Chains A and B, each alone.
Chain A
């Protein structure tokens, strides 16, 4: 019997749900599909397990992966749990570079004075990154490897010229952030590679920065977000970087928005020209939360706001 208003295609799953509810108290209820499990105690174990299991995925904080597994959008055959790799949990200043271990939790990165000194853009972005409980468990590396198109840190990494250190049993290689994000949930990391470290060059003295975002609820995914950095001498812009999230399958650098202000005096005319160029260079998707035109409007407003705030911070420090 079909229930009025419920399609036949749902009858099966609903029956399955009822069945599951019945078995609840026998301890039989589960949401994720089964997976083999390896708990790595050190990096070498994680790398050899990755090499040995072609279907393996890394389980870091799990704040995106487990949500997708609960919805059965993801069904990895094997998970390699790296939560015990405490030697990947660090934030260090190394000369002119900031080194962040891939297993660093967001809460640690968000509140780190070293991050604030080396990459104030990242600290600013953390105003928008998830809710506290998710930041407590989610990791910087896991978040980057998940490569969600609305995620903030990919934009921070691209704008600040970060490099990602990838390890496998074959050795180590480094990939620039700009080359790392390939598409929707797709990165340059190969199946057997583990992201171990994120290296960010120290922001040049006097550089201005800003992260701007609009979301339906604070901490939710961005409808649109803009990361911007600006280097000025006097009032002319020497170098500008504008990176957008929520407008494409991945975080994208908007070179066309950078062009009108680079080398120009920063004023309302040049900021407006940059924001218009940003808006005209994107073709964002429409979804339940916002249509394409609204997102384009947001790109205009947030780009102008971000560049303007970054300009206000130029030359203030260092």
Chain B
């Protein structure tokens, strides 16, 4: 009985409250709104990139409650009440995160399209395993496609960031 009353019709919207990079946002969304589109279009945070939009490339990876998540495989309504971190919250030009500094230092990007997803994925890895070795890094990044670098410099960058973060 309760559930029937709660049904939201397809074209109606649902009110959600999502905290993104520490800032709370209350918005109305259609049930079919993808979290990726919500972040990019409703919140205008275009640092999160959309590649394949069906969960293969990893470009749209964000952290949801601290865990790496493909925002293209999540509906915004599923993120109601969640804490989200996107690339915009990682660092700034004047105050780069060690991962960002390391990607710059080691040329961990060429076109930069996959980079936000790489950084968010690497962030989760280094939080859980500060002493990750190259094999751990390769394994962690295996779900993120890069079509430019051949990955070597990306692995170099994450390795350097791990070193920096351990020292800091």
Contacts and interface: CB of A to CB of B under 8 A. Distances in A.
Interface of A: 24-25, 27, 29-41, 45-46, 48-49, 52-53, 59, 62-63, 66-67, 69-71, 78-81, 83, 107, 130-134, 136-137, 217-219
A32 B34 contact: yes
Given A46-B3, A137-B74, 4 more contacts: A34-B30, A36-B9, A62-B78, A80-B3
Contacts of A25: 41
Given A30-B33, A63-B55, A134-B143, A38 B75 contact: no
A286 B10 CA distance: 39
Contacts, number: 127
Contacts of A133: 58, 61, 67-70, 121, 143
B124 A132 contact: yes
B78 A83 contact: yes
A218 B139 contact: yes
A219 B73 CA distance: 17
B42 interface: yes
A199 B59 CA distance: 36
Given A136-B68, A136-B69, A81 B7 contact: no
A76 to B, nearest CB: 10
Contacts of A137: 64, 67, 69-70, 73-74
A59 B58 CA distance: 21
B30 A132 contact: no
B4 interface: yes
Interface string B49-62: 00001110010010
A134 B3 contact: no
A81 B34 contact: no
B31 interface: yes
B77 interface: yes
Contacts of B10: 34-37
